[in-house]
Amino acid sequence: MSSSVVAYGCRYCAPLNHRLLYLAHRRCCTRLPLPSRLAAAYLSSCNLLNPNLRTGNSLIHRMEHGHQHGYRQGYGHGNSKKMDTGTRLWTGSGINRNKAMVEHLQRYGVITSKKVSEVMETVDRALFVPEGTPPYVDSPMQIGHNATISAPHMHAMCLQLLEENLKPGMHALDVGSGTGYLTACFALMVGPEGRAVGVEHIPELVSSSIQNIKKSAAAPLLKEGSLSMHVGDGRLGWPEFAPYDAIHVGAAAPEIPPALIEQLKPGGRMVIPVGNLFQYLKVVDKNPDGSISVRDETSVRYVPLTSREAQLRGD
């Protein structure tokens, strides 16, 4: 039986190894991959079809015979987008507490880090999703301006990939910061002695992300100045607070932007999707001598890292 592997995303996509854990069911042929080291997380439900926005994120999924199953639906501000099938660790709106969401991620083996579980419990996702949407459902949601907030499992896996580069006192850059959720998590991990920087080229999103953060546990860090949000072209990074121990990029570049490599600290790590039609999530490590090591973590599908005008047009 042949199969193909595809991943879809925009804002935050996470790494997966090539060993896949999956479910098979006559009515549900979507197979759910998880990192091989987390293979104990065997899901018991076949109701995994998740209509993810082109500008949303999901785990890599393997489709039997290479077929995609999905439908069209819009979230948030009434923007209708083509939805691609991905995976969802749970469905419905029964989870009504942030802590319960984190516990589900732990149960399914997505979160194995104590630090990541602590920061995701501390930063309430409900403060960063559009009003009236279920905040703890494992699904991306539109936030307007052709942008999304990622599914909780994507946030969790991204934080784990960068965890060693988000220690107290370190500097972190979030390119395509959107609602500010992940930047707020970065800020809590690096602490007041560190620096977390969000860069987003949509001014309205920067303004709303600041308001979101002000309501969150990261508010004191914003007030004190160790967390800051900026309007700018993320392809150019944010030189003011460089070099960075951790850089996250939430859209696919045709090649790794030289400015981001330059702003990465020796010993630092960048996670960035690269490619056009075929894209790979690349982990970029800058060695102590300044040389660069790059590896492909997994296949992904992100919207392009592009200009503000192109994003607003939906190019």
Per-residue pLDDT tens for 1-30? 333 333 334 333 333 333 333 333 333 333
Residue labelled with tokens 């197979």 = 31
- pLDDT of 282 reads 87
- 150 in catalytic set: yes
Higher-scoring residue by pLDDT: 251, 275: 275
In angstroms, rounded to a whole number, what is the distance separating the alpha carbons of residues 261 and 274? 13
| pLDDT surpasses 60 at 37 | no
For residue range 105-155, what is the model confidence (pLDDT) as tens digits? 999 998 999 999 999 999 999 999 998 889 999 887 888 888 878 778 878
Residue labelled with tokens 């994507």 = 154
Percent of the chain with pLDDT over 70: 67
Backbone angles phi, psi at 16, to 5 degrees: -140, 145
Q: Which of 150, 177, 209, 228 is catalytic?
A: 150
Three-state SS for 173? strand
In angstroms, rounded to a whole number, what is the distance separating the alpha carbons of residues 114 and 28? 33
In angstroms, rounded to a whole number, what is the distance separating the alpha carbons of residues 86 and 228? 33
| pTM (2 d.p.) | 0.73
Which candidate, 14, 21, 86, 80, places its Cα nearest to that of 49? 86
| pLDDT surpasses 50 at 60 | no
- pLDDT of 149 reads 82
| pLDDT surpasses 80 at 274 | yes
- pLDDT of 86 reads 39
- pLDDT of 251 reads 79
Average pLDDT over every residue of 25-49: 32
Average pLDDT over every residue of 74-97: 45
- pLDDT of 307 reads 67
- pLDDT of 101 reads 95
| pLDDT surpasses 90 at 198 | yes
What's the token pair of residue 57? 């994120």
Amino acid at 283: V
Higher-scoring residue by pLDDT: 149, 90: 149
- pLDDT of 81 reads 27
